[in-house]
Amino acid sequence: MFTRTSPSTGPASPRVDGFYEPDTGSVQFVVSDPATKQAALIDIVQDFDPASGSTAFRSAQTALDFVRDNGLTVAWILDTHPHADHMMAQHWLKEQTGAPTGIGEKVRDIAGLWAGFYHLPDAFDPDRDFDHLFADGDTFKLGNLDVQVILSPGHTLGSITYVIGDAAFVHDTFMHVDAGTTRADFPGGSSAELYASLQRLLELPDNTRLFVGHDYPPVGDRKDPAWEATVADHRAHNKHIGGGVSEADFRKLRDARDATLNLPDRMLQALQVNLRGGRMPDPESDGRSYFKIPANYFPERNA
């Protein structure tokens, strides 16, 4: 697994270790306070094979092995949104560590939306499956470090950013500087809201390290995954929004790009797990869990 460390820059700055999951291009983070050795696990992946329907926790175990090997203690298990391209590992990680879980409070609205798509009116209960549902402006601690929650919709209607010292985990808003921004065409998404979220993130201090949730190399001459750049870097050079791109121009570019993209091949399975905090659907009488897939609900793209 491709990994990279972004060291702490001082007393109010976390160490950030990123772990790249190549099947979905996802970046998972172990964020730690060097003074107290308290750590947060952010957007950790539960492995899923769409061909067989099998799940595993190899990626999540890699994060836990890193925690153990570096003498860290897991204080938080966090996700930025209910991912459409991979399953989250929150439930399993809580079983392993006992640490509390968290996600944004608008996951309630996302759950209501998708309960209708699946025709499963009683399937999802975020208040049951997540320990903390964070609102815009909420704060909490990671060791000695202050954590602030920023609502960052656009990719989904309930995405949130975690700002931990001089590091911000901006999930599916920005991509790396040379790749631009992320899609805004999922149910509840909006390129207008994404633009507003990007602008709000660009108001953070210039030296804030922004850590994105995905990368899909190769990009230009770059062959390795990349997920860190500063606010100043993005403001000046981001491929889609750098240099003061207007909302109208951004939305025209983003909407045109999104119209060419297929839906993620794991989406319809992943959201049934992620809206349960990483749990499989409840077992049926044979003890097995099953996914419910709506046929002919979402139109085929690029046929």
Tens of pLDDT, residue by residue over 104-146, are 999 999 999 999 999 999 999 999 999 999 999 999 999 999 9
pLDDT at residue 50 is higher than 70:
yes
pLDDT at residue 182 is higher than 60:
yes
All residues at 6 or more sequence positions from 221 whose CB lies less than 8 Å from its CB, including other chains: none
Q: Are 275 and 82 in contact (CB under 8 A)?
A: yes
In the prediction, which pLDDT does 48 show? 97
* Sheet containing 139-142, strands listed edge to edge, beginning at the edge strand earlier in sequence: 139-142, 145-151, 160-164, 167-171, 209-212, 228-230
Average pLDDT score over residue span 157-185? 97
**Exposed/middle/buried for 141, CB within 10 Å: 0-12, 13-18, 19+?**
middle
Tokens standing for residue 22: 């190549």
Report the chain's terminal Cα–Cα distance, integer Å.
34
pLDDT, tens digit, 9 for 90 and up, residues 102-113: 999 999 999 999
Backbone angles phi, psi at 120, to 5 degrees: -130, 75
Q: What are the sequence ranges of the domains in the chain? A: 14-262
- Across the chain, mean pLDDT equals 96
pLDDT band at 1 (very low <50, low <70, confident <90, very high): confident
Q: What percent of the chain has pLDDT over 90?
A: 97
Average pLDDT score over residue span 148-164? 97
pLDDT, tens digit, 9 for 90 and up, residues 256-293: 999 999 999 999 999 999 999 999 999 999 999 999 99
Q: Which residues pair with 103 in a beta bridge?
A: 133
Cα angle 285, 291, 294 (rounded to 5 degrees) comes to 125
In the prediction, which pLDDT does 228 show? 98
**DSSP H helical ranges for 137-259:** 191-201, 231-237, 247-258
The set of long-range contacts for 125-132, using a CB threshold of 8 Å and a minimum separation of 24, is 126/275, 126/277, 129/91, 129/275, 129/276, 129/277, 129/279, 130/90, 130/101, 130/102, 130/103, 130/277, 131/94, 131/100, 131/101, 131/102, 132/100, 132/101, 132/102, 132/103
All residues at 6 or more sequence positions from 237 whose CB lies less than 8 Å from its CB, including other chains: 177, 178, 243
pLDDT at residue 179 is higher than 80:
yes
Average pLDDT score over residue span 43-65? 97
In the prediction, which pLDDT does 303 show? 55
At residue 209, what is the residue type?
A: R
Average pLDDT score over residue span 85-108? 98
CATH architecture of the domain formed by 14-262? 4-Layer Sandwich (3.60)
d(CA 39, CA 73): 6
pLDDT at residue 301 is higher than 80:
no
pLDDT at residue 302 is higher than 90:
no
d(CA 110, CA 144): 32
Entry pTM: 0.97
In the prediction, which pLDDT does 21 show? 97
